Amino acid sequence: MADLRRLFSRYSLARGRRRLRRAAYPLVGRWRMVVVPVLEPRHTRHALDLASRLAFERGTRLLLLAPLYVEWELPLNAHFKEEEAALRAELQQDRALAESYGVSAHTQIIRTRPGELGRGVAEAAAEVNASLIVLGAGVDSQRGFRRPFSRDVWSVLNDAPCPVMIATGEPRKADRAAA
């Protein structure tokens, strides 16, 4: 009888709840934010589709990043009103697509130099404590794996503070019919 009282005492129940909370902490923050850089429209659509499905399954949010490339001769805070307006319109379309999956999506324009996209994406991913970067990219070389991706994709892979998933394109029609 004393063992039963000790088992159901307030202290032991509270201790069990604390243990359960501590065990659940790593699982809660595991998939907090998924970052999707918006590069080429065709490949970005597939990456956004994939990231939206992942985010919906995991109950996370998306951060859509659009790079604004500033040439080396200009300061990073130079005025690009037309380019920013075009990027905002593209981001709104992508945000609407992500929200059609039932996923909360945020947008951001990052200013970067040509060839340094990875640094800007890495800073944005670290700022929001991202758990995954989903990158849409076309394969440049069909033979071999010497340099299968563009320079921007390699810079994101080298500088990323979290895992990177590369979506190379939609499956071929023959593969879809078989599945």
pLDDT in tens, the chain (179 residues): 555 555 555 555 565 555 544 444 443 445 589 999 998 888 888 899 999 999 998 888 999 999 999 998 988 888 899 999 999 999 999 999 999 999 999 999 999 988 888 899 999 999 999 999 999 887 766 666 666 777 888 888 888 899 999 888 655 554 445 55
Residue 161, C-beta contacts closer than 8 angstroms, at least 6 positions apart: 122, 125, 126, 130
Amino acid type, 157? L
Asked whether the CA dihedral 99, 102, 107, 112 is positive or negative, the reply is negative
Residue 93 has a pLDDT of 93
* CA 51 to mean position of chain CA atoms: 7
Total length of the chain: 179
The CATH architecture annotation of domain 31-178 reads: 3-Layer(aba) Sandwich (3.40)
Would you tell me the crossing angle of helices 41-58 and 81-99 to the nearest 10 degrees? 40
Task: State the CB neighbour count (10 A cutoff) for residue 37.
Answer: 27
